Structure 1
Amino acid sequence: MDVGKHQDSGTLSEKIIQIAAGESHTLALTGDGSVYSWGRGMFGRLGTGSEEDKLTPTRVNFDLDKVKIVGIAAGSYHSLALADNGSVWSWGYNSYGQLGYEGENSSLPHLVEGFHDLESPDSITDRSKTKTTPSLKISSVKAGGMMSLAIDNLGALWMWGNCPQNILGSEAEALPSSSSTPLRVREFRGHTVVKVACGNEHIVALVGACETPNDGDLICYSWGINRQGQLGLGDKETRLSPEVIGSFNNIESSWAVYDVACGGSHTAVLACNKGSPDRSESVCFTFGLGDNGQLGQGTTQGVLYPKPVKVLPKNVFLISVDCGLFHTSVVSSAGDVWSWGMEKGYGLCPDFSFTSTDAGDALYPRLISCTEPYGPRFPEPVQIVCGAAHTILAAAGGYKLWSWGRGQSGLLGNGKTMNCMDPSTVLWPPLTNHDKEEIPDNSSGDKQSILKEQDDTEDKQRLSAALGEMKLLQTKLSTMERYTSILHGSVFGKPFREQDIPITLQNTGTFDLAREWENMLESSDHAKLARLEVFYRSMLSDIKDKLMKKRIKEIIKECLDERR
């Protein structure tokens, strides 16, 4: 197919302008303001009204009246959307209040009301209560882990969800570790936050040096948990509030930061050369956890300061970067894609796919080739995003999607549940019910054939998903049976049998542990009680021995500390 022709015939409803990836789900935003989701449906993260997995892009319906969506974001198990009127919508997992309200998970988009009736903290009014500054309006959203973030039209940064008290700084020390109410990061007052990214427990923001930032004068800040050096500050100490990453902002630095991404415990930053006339040369810097090669530095060691990924070719301009849990991917303006990290840079665990001959983490960037007839480069790339173990690329000017990595639960959007080691095309654009109605009637029966083929495909997708889920449940059941047998054999000296299940648990599904324990003791003969006594004495002896050893270690440590 000719790329140019495909784009010319495309419409805004088919053109993807933004994508976002969670732990096991993906979102896509089209030019007409529609949102599509696919992948794992647990916790309602897809926003379809159920927890059913979706193997292909499925439209998310919003309770909107002439308002269109202009931005999307995905955390581990939740999703965000921004409407053109500044309203924020959320759905999915909500144990930490990351949906912006206190309550249960939501499988449908829910309005984040914490922003309603809020004004800029710097707003002042005269005696007649006339506002002298604009009212608040959210202009972008971002999510990661169990956190949600937003930037308003005045450049202020807001956060809610799993935001530990030490992340928001001294003014919020009395707050609980999570908040369902958006809270403003006050350290940036008087400055404009341009971009922000967050991992599981850390945040990196690009902030203007003054109220109106100009190209190239962005300052890179980081804060949060820093156990792996993911803040890039040269140590592993947690920060109470945003702190400048000096490597990018000292006088001698020749790099201007323009994009940032956070993985679970590592960070990637894109910067361009200030000395280049058109700033067409860029570099990817990484820091933090490197156990699986996710830093692309040729080693599994962590890095505490930003360090350039030197193996990437020079004189290229990287337009997009993203991080999964244990892998990182970038795409250049020319359509070259590189990936590095766990299992050949796919983020997959070793038992997912590869054989012993080709298994192994990618410690250096690997070039990912596009499939024919487009390859080897991806035409007109738009954006690349990483989930925990999958990668999605929007290219062909936004009219085509490629995916690779973990395929479980339909994560790749290609109608299958298998892992894919080479880029496969996402089934885009999807055939909607409206499209079905628009198929013209004719005597040859083409309409019926198309609809039957569509129904057959959907049936096969549902069957494939059901079989995959059944296989997963069988694996879990087998593991539980082995665990139960080992535990039962250790206590009672014989394998576990079905008749050993208490009657109350079989009949009612509830289990009174104290009562069943008493019933079991009453029905036991002398030999069984004697064995239980031996087991109990052995366990008690082991526990006392461990307690004594721990106490001895504590006493020795106390003595050594006093001598110092």
Structure 2
Amino acid sequence: GRNEKGQLGHGDTKRVEAPKLIEVLGGEAIALAACGRNHTLALTESGSVFAFGENKMGQLGLGNQTDAVPSPTQIMYNGQPITKLACGAEFSMIMDCKGNLYSFGCPEYGQLGHNSDGKFIARAQRIEYDCELVPRRVAIFIEKTKDGQILPVPNVVVRDVACGANHTLVLDSQKRVFSWGFGGYGRLGHAEQKDEMVPRLVKLFDFPGRGAAQIYAGYTCSFAVSETG
């Protein structure tokens, strides 16, 4: 495939026309991989994460912003073993074995879940973004009532995560779904098209017997399979 930013992990930026083993990872047992617009994450069976490709927004989690990292490099993280990962266009999500979620990369629409879009005015009135360069835990989960109240949702244990281009979904241990990030076209499932800066409970699945079993995200849309199938 295309390889302008080294997203194929072969140490160069040459296009590759057929599947080719990533030699640097040859000694690792890979359990999962995820692809963003121009970056890739790979998860080993031991719970380590390697990243390669474009890193101009910090989406590789290496603690810096560089144009490209063409060889697999272990991310800056020393917590519990990672069990799930997902990539958006220019951001990434990882989940540890205890159900904690971490994000890094571009925060433009709130898709990192840290209650900010990271926007600031730089020189010459140019808009730039304060990106997350290393994994940062997503700590706040909320629900919004019909009268507009915002209430915290405690003790969320994440079981799965999915990313669209600029939005994120999670499924928790109680079969609830939370979504956040860019809200255009209704992709967040909240009956409004507002961006959400922190994980917000999707009300449809917050009833006994109506929980979700699986979640998926397309580029600009979202899907869930209910527990009843």
Task: Give your verdict on TM over 0.5.
Answer: yes
Counterpart AA for 1:179: V
Counterpart AA for 2:6: G
Give aligned pairs, total: 205
Which of 186, 203, 207 is the matching residue for 2:92? 203
Q: Cα distance 1:176–1:255, how it changes in 2: closer, same or farther (>3 A)?
A: closer
How big is the shift at 1:115? 1.8
How big is the shift at 1:94? 1.2
Q: Could you tell me how far apart the structure 2 residues matched to 1:172 and 1:313 are?
A: 37
Q: Cα distance 1:307–1:177, how it changes in 2: closer, same or farther (>3 A)?
A: same
Deviations 1:484-542 (A, max 9, x none): xxxxxxxxxxxxxxxxxxxxxxxxxxxxxxxxxxxxxxxxxxxxxxxxxxxxxxxxxxx
Matched, 1:152 2:44: yes
* Alignment correspondent of 1:334: 228
Q: Cα distance 1:140–1:168, how it changes in 2: closer, same or farther (>3 A)?
A: closer
* Aligned positions of 1:286-365 closer than 5 A: 286-312=179-205, 314=207, 315-335=209-229
Matched, 1:109 2:3: no
What is the alpha-carbon root mean square deviation over aligned residues?
2.2
Give SS of 2:140's match.
helix
How big is the shift at 1:168? 4.4
* Alignment correspondent of 1:236: 117
Q: Answer whether contact 1:285 1:306 (CA < 8 A) is retained.
A: yes
Q: Could you tell me how far apart the structure 2 residues matched to 1:227 and 1:289 are?
A: 9
How big is the shift at 1:258? 0.3
How big is the shift at 1:172? 4.9
How big is the shift at 1:312? 3.7
Whose strand fraction is larger, Structure 1's or Structure 2's?
A: 2
How big is the shift at 1:297? 0.7
Deviations 1:327-352 (A, max 9, x none): 111112422xxxxxxxxxxxxxxxxx
Whose helix fraction is larger, Structure 1's or Structure 2's?
A: 1
Q: Cα distance 1:196–1:104, how it changes in 2: closer, same or farther (>3 A)?
A: same
Deviations 1:257-295 (A, max 9, x none): 10100111111111133xxxxxxxx11111010121111
Give SS of 1:177's match.
strand
Q: Could you tell me how far apart the structure 2 residues matched to 1:202 and 1:234 are?
A: 15
Q: Could you tell me how far apart the structure 1 residues matched to 2:92 and 2:184 are?
A: 21
Q: Answer whether contact 2:48 2:82 (CA < 8 A) is retained.
A: yes
Q: Which has the larger radius of gyration?
A: 1
Percent identity among equivalent residues? 28
Higher mean displacement: 159-168 or 145-154: 159-168
Q: Could you tell me how far apart the structure 2 residues matched to 1:115 and 1:256 are?
A: 30
Counterpart AA for 1:323: A
Q: Answer whether contact 1:165 1:172 (CA < 8 A) is retained.
A: no
Deviations 1:348-391 (A, max 9, x none): xxxxxxxxxxxxxxxxxxxxxxxxxxxxxxxxxxxxxxxxxxxx
* Aligned positions of 1:424-463 closer than 5 A: none
Q: Could you tell me how far apart the structure 2 residues matched to 1:158 and 1:96 are?
A: 15
Which of 56, 67, 74 is the matching residue for 1:184? 74
Deviations 1:161-190 (A, max 9, x none): 122363445x653x7321110010122x25
How big is the shift at 1:145? 1.8
Deviations 1:106-149 (A, max 9, x none): 221111112246xxxxxxxxxxxxxxxxxx43222222222111
Q: Answer whether contact 1:206 1:220 (CA < 8 A) is retained.
A: yes
Give SS of 1:95's match.
coil
Counterpart AA for 1:301: K
Deviations 1:178-224 (A, max 9, x none): 1110010122x25200101010011111113xxxxxxxx31111111
Q: Cα distance 1:323–1:165, how it changes in 2: closer, same or farther (>3 A)?
A: closer
* Alignment correspondent of 1:56: none
Q: Answer whether contact 2:178 2:200 (CA < 8 A) is retained.
A: yes
Greater RCO, 1 or 2 (C-alpha within 8 Å, sep 6+) = 2
Q: Unaligned regions of 5+ residues in structure 1, if any?
A: 1-91, 118-135, 209-216, 274-281, 336-564
How big is the shift at 1:252? 6.6
Q: Could you tell me how far apart the structure 2 residues matched to 1:155 and 1:312 are?
A: 30
Q: Could you tell me how far apart the structure 2 residues matched to 1:253 and 1:312 are?
A: 17
